[in-house]
Amino acid sequence: MCGVLVLAATSRALVTSLQASSHPRSWSSSVRTHGGGRNSAKGISCLRTSAFGGSELPATVMQGGAAGRQQQRGRHSDSGVGGLEAAVSDVFPRFKRRRKAAAEEKTPPLYRSVKTTMRPLRLPAWPVQNGLIYTALDFLRLRKLALHLEDLWGGRVGVLQPPNQVESDPFIMLVHHRHTFWPLDPFRPISNMFVPEGFPAHPHRGFQTVTYVMRGGMVHRDSMGLKQRYGANAVQWMSAGRGILHEEMWDIKDKWEKADMELYQIWVNLPSSLKMTRPRIQLAGEGTGSPLPVAKPSKGTEVIVVAGELCNETSPVETMQPLSMLHVKMEVGAEPWAHHVPWGHHCLIYVRRGDLTIVPTEEGYYEGDEDREPQLVSTATAVSLEDDGDYARFENRGKEDLDFMLIEAEPTRESIATRGSMVMNTEKECDKAYRDFSEGFFGVPWDNRLNDDEWRELEQAPGRGGGGGTRARVCPA
């Protein structure tokens, strides 16, 4: 009878050991609340400080992950699981790796893996005929050729709205524009009869719009009487707050010259406490007097810090929540780069050009685990990463240079209601936003064909201003 009890107890302990040790996710979830990981991880060239306020992360947070995992390992050893791991280490190499790390008092950092893969909806625009050709090539399963031609000649816009807004919070939408305006395009006059070359005056409330230009430029006018012109390697960060009208038109200086345009437009949600603040617009980058810094976290990798901080390079853009936006370029054969992502932050990646390999483990750990195999993200594809993990590890294993956008932020963890150009917490708040717009609390829309003098005269008329400017009506509570 005693032998049976001993055998039963041993079998139960062995099953518990296998369940706890053979699945890295269950092992890592036990330390999810411990904060960041070690700064000694292989492939990590520099440790990013906080993207909010530029202050360094507390030492307890940076070391908490390693300490928590060491403490977790100690609890397992005390319960006898460590001895069982030793007994089966010859059968399960994964256990042997972990025991070797424990013996050396090293803990592998937790790397994030891909949670969701998404492909933006690509729509023909500017010029439409080019976009229709690329779409036909897509149907013929010539997607790579279509994307190559799109990059050369323009003609489509990729619209990504993550299907699960809770997972992508606070990122509402990412749009990738690639357009070309040809002076002798026979379809251009016809297109202009239906769609102007840009986005005429329209309202926003409750979130931030980020416009980051890579080719060409934009001309901005708004209901606060502000006009801005900005071009390549510049970003406009607009917090709509309680409401603003703005116009965004392509900066076509000479209609008889070819104009290439490429940019990202990203919508970032605001927490409810900031949705009704006064609108604010920031402009940074080339030609603005506040250039965007460039970091080099590893050999062959260059990162334009659009927002946040990386390797002691801080963007001049002041964000309203903990957030980073990084334009990453990796050469062929570049060294792997492990980027620290704060625990709890949501991370979204969009590949503009090339093939990105996300490696959710350090070499030698979790061998044979399908969830930890390298994951390939191809051109014009977006992914969201798992929430648990200290770092995201990137490699360029392709035959061409890699270019991608990485955005990560602390989620608002609030309900989201999106309707048209308004982002609020409830449908009732969206109703009120459109009612305020119709009653003139955002200002009154203007014709995009007005020149600057006519536009300013119109906006300075009594009762016209909007968006919280000095001439704006005050929105009722």
- pLDDT exceeds 90 at position 136: yes
pLDDT at 110: 83
The stretch 75-95 carries a mean pLDDT of 45
Placement of tokens 């750990």 in the chain: 365
Residue ranges of E strands in 270-322: 280-285, 294-298, 301-307, 309-310, 313-314
- pLDDT exceeds 70 at position 12: no
pLDDT at 465: 55
List of residues 6+ apart from 214 with CB closer than 8 A: 232, 233, 262, 263, 264
The stretch 288-294 carries a mean pLDDT of 96
pLDDT at 341: 94
pLDDT at 461: 75
- pLDDT exceeds 50 at position 439: yes
Provide the percentage of residues in the chain whose pLDDT is more than 70: 72
Pair of tokens at residue 431: 């109703």
Q: Please give the model's pTM, rounded to 2 decimal places.
A: 0.78
Choice among 57-66, 74-83, 94-103 with the minimum mean pLDDT: 57-66
pLDDT at 365: 55
Q: How sure is the predictor about 255, in pLDDT bands with cuts at 50, 70 and 90?
A: confident
Placement of tokens 């050729």 in the chain: 145
Placement of tokens 């957030």 in the chain: 323
Choice among 101-110, 187-196, 227-236 with the minimum mean pLDDT: 101-110
The stretch 16-40 carries a mean pLDDT of 37
The stretch 349-354 carries a mean pLDDT of 98
pLDDT at 26: 34
- Which residue, 28, 106, 62, 70, is CA-closest to 342? 62
Terminal Cα distance for the chain, rounded: 76
- Which of 364 and 307 is assigned the larger pLDDT? 307
- pLDDT exceeds 80 at position 422: yes
| SS3 call for 334 | coil
- pLDDT exceeds 50 at position 113: yes
List of residues 6+ apart from 381 with CB closer than 8 A: 117, 118, 119, 350, 351
The CATH number given to 114-409 is: 2.60.120.10
The stretch 129-137 carries a mean pLDDT of 97
pLDDT at 388: 83
The domain locations on the chain are 114-409
H-run or E-run covering 149? helix 143-153
Q: How confident is the prediction for the chain on average, in pLDDT?
A: 81
- pLDDT exceeds 80 at position 94: no
Sequence letter at residue 161: Q
Q: How sure is the predictor about 331, in pLDDT bands with cuts at 50, 70 and 90?
A: very high
| Maximum alpha-carbon separation in the chain | 98
